[in-house]
Chains A and B, each alone.
Chain A
Amino acid sequence: MQVEQFYYDNRTVKNFAYATVLWGIVGMLAGLLVAIQFYLPAASFNFAPTTFGRLRPVHTNAVIFAFVGNCIFAGIYYSLQRLCKARMFSDLLSKIHFWGWQLIIVAAALTLFMGYTTGKEYAELEWPIDIAITLVWVVFGINMFGTILTRRESHLYVAIWFYIATWVTVAMLHIVNSFEIPFSPLKSYSWYAGVQDALVQWWYGHNAVAFFLTTPVLGLMYYFMPKAANRPVYSYRLSIIHFWALIFIYIWAGPHHLLYTALPDWAQSLGTVFSIMLIAPSWGGMLNGLFTLRGAWDKVREDPVLKFMVVAVTCYGMSTFEGPLLSLKNVNAISHFTDWTIAHVHIGAMGWNGFIAFGMLYWMIPRIFGTQLYSKKLATTHFWVGTMGIVLYALPLYWAGFTQAMMWKQFTEEGQLKFQFLETVTHIIPMYITRSVGGLLYVSGVFIMVYNLVKTVKSGSLVADEAAEAAPLPKVIETHGKEYWHRWIERKPVQMLVYSFILVAIGGLLELIPTFLVKSNIPTIASVKPYTPLELQGRDIYIKEGCYTCHSQMVRPFRDEVARYGEYSKAGEFVYDHPFQWGSKRTGPDLARIGGKYPDSWHYNHMFDPSTMSPGSIMPRYPWLMDAKIDTALTPAKIRAMQTLGVPYPVGYDQQANAELMAQANKIKDNLKKDKIETAADAEIVALIAYLQRVGVDIKGEQKAQVASLK
């Protein structure tokens, strides 16, 4: 048969690879600074953009979407062309995809530093960026499917299936979770409120881990691991089972992030059951990866690329075993809100994602530059430094998480809580220090890699268009044995797209719909009222400063939490919370019942310098809130947006809102004055205090009323 000549595009691969390294370093350094702020709060420099609440989203977004994102694209652009024996569909689309994604990253970093955030973890980016992401994702999709449709290999290798499922699912997750009502060029409110917002958010959040950090990277594993070991994957049959079982089950597991919260019980149980089921396909995948190296362990000893991959796959196995464990209610009762979760995700991020990325870069860069890796020895050094970094990072945090949870739950014989919240924090400071040393080691390894790769690149030259040849796809496709329905799907990528979409959509819908249907059944608590305009403004400051990165607003129904914080949280309390602010980590205490706990002046002084009110506090200072002015120009638009979302402000309220805002602000101002604090009524701190004093009091009032009527 006539063979055709064509060229693989290596330039786009190179660009994505460089971006991977660059953003990886940025994201990891941001992470390092965040880690240092745990024991050195002054490292926030009393500067809004570098405080924990803003920097942490920069870190998570940079690592997930910039570092791992670019790594996935580099790997897909490299492997897809070779698996399809075709150049990427369109050079122009490749370019738009690459530059579009980098622009999104820059815009994301700038807006997050400036405090523009939706307040929903891992989906913090505001609406214009959400739209840009959708567009670039579509460009990527067209480019990928174009390549698949014009391929010269009749079969789709399993890695491509993972890429397709990734594309479809991420598109769906991103769109569903990003429904929001804009009220200014850079700000919006989440479409959903309270319990529903939480459910959608964690359905998204969990599946972002599944379909952004796992499935595409498994695709990379199924391509690069056999390539690096120079032998086919251990069991191709297993890989098919791995694929279908994984995408089908993953989509259901989201509610395990909300155990013991005000989320309905059945949804919690569903999340747990499916999480346990996930062990099977995940371990199938891990074993498939490891067994690929059966009888080739001597190679692993010599080849740093394989070393990275072995540890990566092992970490994948560890975190996918731990994940289901953490979904068991009794384990979750201890782990949730502590550093245990942070340790867990870093096994995944540093071990699995990071090490696959490094292994892939060490293997791929020399090949697209037509040369050899500059130094295997340095790469091996990087491997050991990185591995030590992971261990030093994770172990102290597991310990910290467990210790702190135990301290939270301890009572004295008289039935009093044994430890103040802050005591449980200062107790684990040494673990925080060790963790940051681990992080430092890990980034240092990356710098060793940069040196090694720069030397490698200098010793070769980019083969921008790599010549290849292959026969075109025959009109009539030969068959091996009998045709089966699965083969029919697998040969037809468009069907494949449709079927995987149907699968994940069914999972998603079945999980979400009931909660929406029963909207009316979330018991409305008569005493829960919409926020006043000033409180609403204050709530937006709370979101802007990222207080949710350290504070939860969700008291779980445990003896210790009720004793420490107050009455446990009810679903009906959050019906006006667009977005919900339950949080996922308690570096500071829960704030669900903070309203009325302290006088206004306490908050004023605490926000100015937390250590004056709570000696030894690691909460950052917020001195700028004393000077910055509330953006009252936006009040009417905010009220109208809330009205659109169904919050029952009276008609025309948007025009009266600012007058009421100032009246309430003046009261707080006078109140502060009694305690000898001078402030402008329209200072941001005033709005924040108004909000803090409101959180959780609606229901307190109701209980007092009930008690009174009982008497």
Chain B
Amino acid sequence: MKFINYLESTTGVSIYGLGSFMLFFTFFVFMAIWVFKADKRLITHLSEIPFDHSDSKS
């Protein structure tokens, strides 16, 4: 049993789905590229921020 399509008159609703997927995908690709190209020293530095030695106690 299926619902009748209430949105018949709004043609092209799928553009929302497509558009948003493209947006997400583009963003994701750019981000992934950055993440893998990022300098290793920077990444190491970032991951050690919680352990900085000027922290009064570890």
Check B7 against A264 for contact (C-beta < 8 Å). Answer: yes
| A466 CA / B28 CA spacing, docked (Å) | 41
| A558 CA / B48 CA spacing, docked (Å) | 55
A248 at the interface (CB under 8 A from B): yes
B42 to chain A, nearest CB (A): 4
Instruction: Assign chain B's interface to a size class.
Output: 35 or more
Within 8 A of A (CB), among B1-58: 1-3, 5-10, 13-14, 16-17, 19-20, 23-24, 27-28, 31-32, 34-39, 41-52, 54-58
Contacts of A476 in B (CB 8 A): none
Given the interface pairs A481-B39, A558-B1, the reply to whether A85 lies near B34 with Cβ below 8 Å is: no
Contacts of B35 in A (CB 8 A): 237, 240-241, 486
| A264 CA / B17 CA spacing, docked (Å) | 14
A222 to chain B, nearest CB (A): 8
Contacts of B7 in A (CB 8 A): 264, 266, 514, 518, 521
Check A83 against B58 for contact (C-beta < 8 Å). Answer: no
B22 to chain A, nearest CB (A): 12
A411 to chain B, nearest CB (A): 16
Check A514 against B31 for contact (C-beta < 8 Å). Answer: no
Contacts of B46 in A (CB 8 A): 155, 157-158, 236
Contacts of A83 in B (CB 8 A): 49-50
| A304 CA / B27 CA spacing, docked (Å) | 40
A-B contacts at CB below 8 angstroms, number: 133
| A41 CA / B36 CA spacing, docked (Å) | 58
Interface string of A465-499 (1 = CB under 8 A from B): 01111110000000011101111000000000000
Instruction: Assign chain A's interface to a size class.
Output: 35 or more
| A470 CA / B42 CA spacing, docked (Å) | 20
A226 at the interface (CB under 8 A from B): yes
| A322 CA / B45 CA spacing, docked (Å) | 35
A270: nearest chain-B partner, CB-CB: B17
A49 at the interface (CB under 8 A from B): no
Contacts of B14 in A (CB 8 A): 266
Contacts of B13 in A (CB 8 A): 266, 514
Partner of B20, one of A237, A241, A510, A568: A510
A223: nearest chain-B partner, CB-CB: B50
| A467 CA / B54 CA spacing, docked (Å) | 10
Given the interface pairs A264-B5, A484-B34, A517-B10, the reply to whether A227 lies near B50 with Cβ below 8 Å is: yes
Check B24 against A248 for contact (C-beta < 8 Å). Answer: yes
A252 at the interface (CB under 8 A from B): yes
| A273 CA / B25 CA spacing, docked (Å) | 14
Interface string of A510-545 (1 = CB under 8 A from B): 100010011001110000000000000000000000
Question: Knowing that A262-B3, A486-B31, A486-B38 are A-B contacts, what are 12 other residue pairs whose CB atoms are under 8 Å apart, sorted by A's residue number?
Answer: A157-B46, A230-B51, A232-B48, A266-B13, A270-B17, A273-B17, A470-B54, A510-B20, A514-B7, A517-B10, A521-B6, A557-B2
Interface residues of B (CB under 8 A from A): 1-3, 5-10, 13-14, 16-17, 19-20, 23-24, 27-28, 31-32, 34-39, 41-52, 54-58
List 10 A–B pairs whose Cβ atoms lie within 8 Å, in order of A's numbering.
Answer: A226-B47, A236-B43, A236-B44, A237-B36, A252-B20, A262-B3, A264-B3, A266-B13, A486-B35, A514-B10
